[in-house]
Amino acid sequence: MRTSLLLLSALISFVMVASAANFNQDIDVTWGDGRGKILENGNLLTLTLDKFSGSGFQSKNQYLFGKIDMNIKLVPSNSAGTVTTYYLRSEGSTWDEIDFEFLGNLSGDPYIVHTNVYTQGKGDKEQQFYLWFDPTKDFHTYSLLWNPQRIIFSVDGTPLREFKNLESKGVAFPKSQPMRVYSSLWNADDWATRGGLVKTDWSQAPFTAAYRNYKADTCVWSSGKSSCSSTSPSQNSWLSQELDITSQERLKWVQKNYMIYNYCTDTKRFPQGLPKECTAP
């Protein structure tokens, strides 16, 4: 009897974990005419790009704050000209957006991880990074933490970037528009690789990116209400999460060794002065 109960408990735990990361339940493939596929009973999703079209998906739910984790294996080999995106975005002409974009490259050359934050339709907050591993060999976890105090971009638990809420300094921060998770794989060879100098090699097509283990610890927004308003803050620790000392040191390590572009140091781009958040303490 005890063995049966233990097996039942383990089965229930497995089902709960599996359902939490089931693409059939959480995701809609929205474009690509069959090039986006949900496989393995909802545990794997692939996006494909060929000469005729890319593909993409979005979350069924909208969120107003959350911690989103996704395991992604990027397009291997010669991925020059391709862009794989993974981001949060609201609707409308004055949208908010929190962006991961992975810019493909020639075989042997590193991917560029492009990040940006938009508020009320205005971005211009780009930071770009190389990675310290090959993101095409295996799945890695790409995370977006978005709470009222900060946005943190992380890879395998290591922070790449923190964008703080500095509204007190006059800096806009996305906090009032619910957003969906989106991802796409598309051709951007007019700009993606070396400013458009390297074009997509269609003899390498189809190009495929793979996704697993989608996890959304979020405040779901529905009918004008947040699912978090009726729950204890202790159940949503990410709502007040910040970088601890170790994470701050890891962030400094990444930005010292792997950051290749930072809008906050681009004085030629901002001759009238750097944006306020760049000079805030």
Mention every residue, 6+ apart, whose C-beta is less than 8 A from residue 71: 139, 140, 141, 142, 211, 212, 213
Cis peptide upstream of residue 206 (ω within 30 degrees of 0): yes
Of 97, 126, 162, 277, the catalytic one is 97
101 classed as catalytic:
yes
State both tokens at 163. Answer: 């964008």
Of 91, 101, 162, 249, the catalytic one is 101
97 classed as catalytic:
yes
- Cite the active site residues: 97, 101
